[in-house]
Chains A and B, each alone.
Chain A
Amino acid sequence: MKEIKVDTLVIGGGSAGMAAALEIAERGFSVTIAERENSMGGILNQCIHNGFGLHHFKEELSGPAYAEKFIDMVDSSKIKVFLDMTVMDIEQTTDDLTAYGLSRDNGMVKFSIKTVVFANGCRERNRGSIGTPGTRPSGIFTAGLAQRLVNMEGFIPGKECVVVGSGDIGLIMARRMTWIGSKVKAVIEIQPYPAGLTRNIVQCLNDFDIPLYLSHVVGEIHGRDRVESIDVIPLENGVEQKDKSFNIKCDSLLLAVGLVPDNELAQKIGITINPETNGPVVNRQLMTGQNGIFACGNVLHVHDLVDFVTEESERCGRYVADYLDNKKPADQYKTTPGKNVKYLVPNYYSPKEDNKFYLRTMIVKNRAELVVKVNGKEITRKKLNHIQPSEMISFSIPGGKVENISELHNNILEVQIV
């Protein structure tokens, strides 16, 4: 069995893994990326639409182009990349970390490492996750699978389809299906408001007169062998109005019903998972509850924009390098989501250092405010133009801003949306 000694093993060569690895390599540490697919870039490779990179590169790129800019940087760095490699297991002893990855060309490779970065992204929720009743015919695809079949293989998953979920992935796929000659008969959204960006409602649905059914759910799937139709049920005050249900004939159903961080390996080795994000609980340095194991990108929490993934992962890379430099972190205290906040990442902050946070709210509101409190005292307040659960919010607390740290209190940093 091949054995490799390296400072950091980055699991996943998508936007998160590449950004983290580049920062670690920049600081002079040895880094290896293990990527499952035959090229780096992750899910960006199938996101051929434009709209990536506005924040990071100040230009509007397709997913593959955004990925390629990073792939080029990785290729010209000292980072070692294993393609077609699946990491099967991680073992942790007191000081040592061992990881096992396998590939066709290398067999099983044993990595002796000091640090691991989980950067292996998320997976799609599917029919089982939303519990849609009915028959079990062919023609039910998660939107991501359909996107891969269309954009990378050139297949058409159905001639007449219904999209479930109005998040950006659902909207983008509605346009894509239309642009390959299929008829999109409807987009069904359980919430009373669209989950995706307004611009995508305009250019992906309105441009083609695709009906968007807000506050509706799929009641039942029909068809013995292949999908033949679906029942759609309106909701009133959250209650299904079965007498008002209607049927839509279609040969395919695209499910864009959310993403979940893919943390099977982390769970297997006992890393504590935050049930609100399904990602690991991490400290200010994005390190999980186990020493030397970090997480960034969509495996930590699901992001809206790849630009945010890059920002977070570059920071993660710097924290990993600090850890390898034996730089001792300053004292940390817990963070907690308060009023109207679904989750807050990271789960710890350091009063003496700069802190960057990502959060999601639970409400839709115009002209909201974000309030940060420690020990009951307001630390800072930020005006927010428009907020909704599907749009991630970020803010920073600079080092020294929190002055009321006291041994008499728990010093928990609470974030509210009011």
Chain B
Amino acid sequence: MSKEIFDVAIIGAGVVGSAIARKLSSYNLKVALLEKECDVSFGVSKANSGIIHGGFHHGSEYLKSKLEVQGNRMFDRLEQELHFPFRRCGIMVAAFSVEEMKTVEQLYMNGVNNKAVGIEMCNRSRMLSLEPKLNDDVVGGLYAPAGGIIEPYRFVFSLVESALKNGVKLFTEFKVTSAEHNSNGYGIVSEDGKKIESRWVVNASGLFADEVSGIFNAEEFKITPRKGEEFLLDRNSAARTEHVIFPVPDHVSKGILVIPTVEGTTMLGPTAIPQDSKEDVSTTAINLKMVFSSARRMVPSISGRDIITSFTGLRPVLESGDFYIDVSAKQPNLIQVAGIQSPGLTAVPAIAEYVKDLLKKDGLVLTEKSSYDPTIDKLPRMRTISPVEADELIKSDPAFGEIVCRCESVSEAEIVAAVKNGHTTLDGIKFYTRAQMGRCQGGFCTDRIIKIIQRETGLSYEDITKRGKASWILEDKIGDLEVNSYGNME
């Protein structure tokens, strides 16, 4: 396929790979971003909780703590440049016993040592005045005002859009299955026989970082998927809080959170259950009950009636519990970026800087690109604008006047923009626009979205999928099948 030799090939277009790609796009480099799925952000990143952490969960001895605090501070500028939904709503940790308050003190000390901004200890009344929906039984807790929330997939989409604008080449459905070191660097071959050449390689392949490392004969390590089930509540739920609410963590995870998502819904979760399969993203009935009882302990008004959907994400966990970001000691020109679990999303802007520095240290020459433009266009969203603005917008493009998704007020123009940005599956459009993400979960708009994809791409209905591969939606039309409904009538 591509005859050009890339300077850097990044394997994995999740949030980590995309942020690195965008960072590198500001230099005079040829960068390839390789993704095994049919769209970016379709792995670990799409089921992320979207928390921008407050810098208090881990001790300062961890690399992830340092990058978390650095990354957190970089989000305001990123939001201005990339327009993804982001809000510093603040994070609270709610303690329900004197014993739990001891752990909260530890968290506070972590935060102070990590130089987290604005962190404070709160007594009961301070907790309740900050967050009146908390359970009255709260005894105290922690408040981290710099914490916040984003839409993780929208963040990835924006990073990739910016990277592509600045010359990065994206290869989707490129599952790396073999690699050879040659005089140019690496020849990287996909499952279906496509090949690209690159001088450096960044392994940012999430759950599969261990397997990709193996393909390159580099370090041996094991990524253990840790399953996290989440439940989404209707935007009219009375239980929506102002802040992200954490319980006091245990040694395995940060616990079940109540998350007021930046787009107005409320999310509960995630669970934290280690498993072997990197594919199994099924949800279970038992965990639903567990998540609800845990979340209700903090916010009693949470109601099962408000559930609109559930989903599962897998975190890529290394045995060390820390990030592993380093130049490979076994193979030349290879950077490992593995084990990026929580607070990975928060740390990502800092990870991109860190990886850029590692590449430089490893010999990659970086000169700033004069044409680099860090900003992308802001797409208007019908849901968030005034009637007057909406009227103007429809005059400029009548497709804004066609509301396709009634639950989330998404217009046809927004769906067309998603398609034009390369998101041509139902899930891709869902994550880009929020259409199908509301309370009816696509019941009213799926058929209209299929028609728009067909019109904009020329694809036939058989080729439209939920998320690539064999996730087809419609295979036949009436008349294709012979009707034999009553069997043989006597």
Contacts and interface: CB of A to CB of B under 8 A. Distances in A.
Q: Do A and B bind each other?
A: yes
Interface of A: 1-2, 36, 84, 86, 88-89, 100, 102-108, 110, 123-124, 126-129, 131, 133-139, 141-142, 144-145, 148-150, 152-159, 178-182, 207-209, 220-221, 224-226, 264, 267-268, 275
Given A156-B478, A181-B480, A226-B470, A133 B283 contact: yes
Interface residues of B, number: 65
Given A123-B440, A128-B307, A156 B474 contact: yes
A26 to B, nearest CB: 30
Interface string B383-394: 000011011001
Contacts, number: 174
A107 B447 contact: no
Contact of A128 (B232, B284, B446, B472): B232
26 contacts: A88-B403, A102-B401, A123-B444, A128-B307, A131-B304, A136-B281, A136-B311, A136-B312, A141-B446, A142-B440, A142-B443, A144-B443, A149-B447, A154-B477, A156-B474, A156-B475, A156-B476, A158-B475, A179-B485, A180-B481, A180-B483, A181-B478, A181-B481, A208-B485, A225-B472, A264-B439
Contact of B483 (A102, A179, A225, A275): A179
Contact of A138 (B310, B387, B465): B465
Q: List 3 A-B pairs, minimum CB-CB distance, nearest first.
A: A181-B481, A128-B309, A138-B466
Interface in B293-348: 304-305, 307-312
B98 interface: no
A205 to B, nearest CB: 12
Contacts of B444: 123, 145
B268 to A, nearest CB: 13
Given A133-B282, A138-B466, A181-B484, A128 B402 contact: no
Nearest to B279: A224
Interface in B195-238: 232, 236
B285 interface: yes
B476 A145 contact: no
Contacts of A267: 236
Contacts of A158: 475
A36 B485 CA distance: 36
A5 B444 CA distance: 30
Contact of A36 (B406, B461, B470, B483): B406
Given A128-B307, A225-B471, 18 more contacts: A88-B409, A100-B387, A102-B390, A104-B398, A107-B394, A129-B307, A134-B283, A138-B467, A144-B443, A154-B478, A154-B479, A155-B474, A156-B474, A156-B476, A159-B481, A180-B478, A182-B481, A225-B465
Interface in B369-394: 382, 387-388, 390-391, 394
A127 B282 CA distance: 13
B355 to A, nearest CB: 31
Contact of B472 (A36, A100, A138, A153): A138
